[in-house]
Amino acid sequence: PPLGVEYLVSLSSLSLQHLNVVRSTIASVYRVVHAQEQGLSNHALIQQFFKARKRTRSKLPNRNQEIFDIDPILVLVENRSATKDLPLDKIQKKTLVLLTIATM
């Protein structure tokens, strides 16, 4: 188990889903080689590793959670010159910013 934890720690930059696949793969081989011992997935060190891994990784916000405040961007777009006075490339950029905000 300590070697298994070391191996998982070396892979800790991978996604949790990938780590679960690795754990499952190692556990299936471990079960055959060490039939008389407790299963690897139930080992305290392995469970502690996965609990710690879940705590250290931040989760992506869901659709209803605000990621950041877009007011400064809106103020910037609003404070630019009037659209009729802008050159075409600036109008295109302004349009892209507004479309991006609208589709968030």
Q: Which helix (H) or strand (E) holds 95?
A: helix 88-102
Q: Are residues 10 and 45 both part of a single domain?
A: yes
Co-location of 51 and 10 in the same domain: yes
Report which residue type is found at 63.
R
Same domain, 41 and 85: no
User: Two tokens at 44?
Assistant: 């305290």
Instruction: Output the pLDDT for position 58.
Output: 66
| pLDDT bucket at 12, cuts 50 / 70 / 90 | confident
Q: Is residue 66 part of a domain?
A: no
Q: How far apart are CA 84 and CA 98, in angstroms?
A: 16
In this structure, the answer to whether residues 9 and 46 fall within a common structural domain is yes
Per-residue pLDDT band for 19 (boundaries 50, 70, 90) equals: very high
Q: What is the pLDDT of residue 30?
A: 87
Other C-beta atoms closer than 10 Å to the C-beta of 53 total: 15
Give the chain's domain count.
2
Q: Are 9 and 47 found together in one domain?
A: yes
Output the pLDDT for position 48.
Answer: 92
Judge if 12 and 49 occupy the same domain. Answer: yes
| pTM score, whole prediction | 0.51
The pLDDT tens digits for 26-80 are 888 888 888 888 888 888 999 999 999 888 876 666 777 667 788 888 888 888 7
**Residue-range definition of the domain harbouring residue 40:** 2-56
